[in-house]
A and B are shown apart, each in its own frame.
Chain A
Amino acid sequence: DAGVIQSPRHEVTEMGQEVTLRCKLISGHNSLFWYRQTMMRGLELLIYFNNNVPIDDSGMPEDRFSAKMPNASFSTLKIQPSEPRDSAVYFCASSPTTGGESYGYTFGSGTRLTVV
């Protein structure tokens, strides 16, 4: 299994441009999480899905951010328009759906986004 795959690894874009981050889940995993990591705020949960359905998007900072799961194995996080304060490392993670006990997550390697 190749693990959780994120692309691109690095993205540099100009303020105002649209940015799309991509994530491929581990086969058989049903839950998908998007996190943002910055020096100032640490790891922040942006949104998570269970069986393709968004469960909690209260961490999404603004309407400029949107996330989708068009199928069970793939997700996108879109920022439109992007701003310099969006610069961060964005991680996605997946886990198996459980009956209550958590197995923890498997993280991707992250996308380092720089908005200039």
Chain B
Amino acid sequence: AQSVTQLDSHVSVSEGTPVLLRCNYSSSYSPSLFWYVQHPNKGLQLLLKYTSAATLVKGINGFEAEFKKSETSFHLTKPSAHMSDAAEYFCVVSEPGSQGNLIFGKGTKLSVKP
């Protein structure tokens, strides 16, 4: 069975400092992994996805994530936080043959201080 664990429910950083949002997954097969972002009172937007190509994935707004099979991790990073990055971030896993069904983590709320 597939599952995903976001290790921090809330992360707070200062503007201009690096961002690290942690995610571990459990999957019986080679999964597809995603990060979604949800700004306040908005829908969810796809940030980036890993689907068995390059292990370092670049997304929108300067975010990237690295797939590490040995650690079953897919942490999201950004070198320098911007105020507009304040939002909730969801790590998501999907297995082949699951008909596209995605399993969402519980989310990490990112706060950015001026």
Given A100-B96, A100-B97, answer yes or no on A105-B102 (Cβ-Cβ < 8 Å): yes
Once the chains are docked, how many angstroms separate the CA of A24 from the CA of B108?
Answer: 29
How many chain-B residues does the 8 Å CB contact rule pick out? 24
Distance between Cα atoms of A39 and B96 in the complex (Å): 30
The A-B contact count (CB < 8 A) is 63
Least CB distance from A56 to B in Å reads: 7
B100 touching A95 by the CB < 8 A rule? yes
Q: When the two chains form their complex, are residues B104 and A103 in contact, meaning their CB atoms are under 8 A apart?
A: no
Name the interface residues of B6-51: CB closer than 8 Å to any CB of A.
32, 34, 36, 42-46, 49, 51
Q: Quick check: is B70 within 8 A (CB to CB) of the other chain?
A: no
| Interface set, chain A 59-116, CB cutoff 8 A to B | 91, 93, 95, 97-98, 100-110
Interface bin, chain A: 20 to 34
A98 to B100, alpha carbons, bound, how many Å? 7
Which residue on chain B has the smallest CB distance to residue A110?
Answer: B43
Task: Give B residues with C-beta under 8 Å from A.
Answer: 32, 34, 36, 42-46, 49, 51-52, 90, 92, 94, 96-102, 104, 106-107
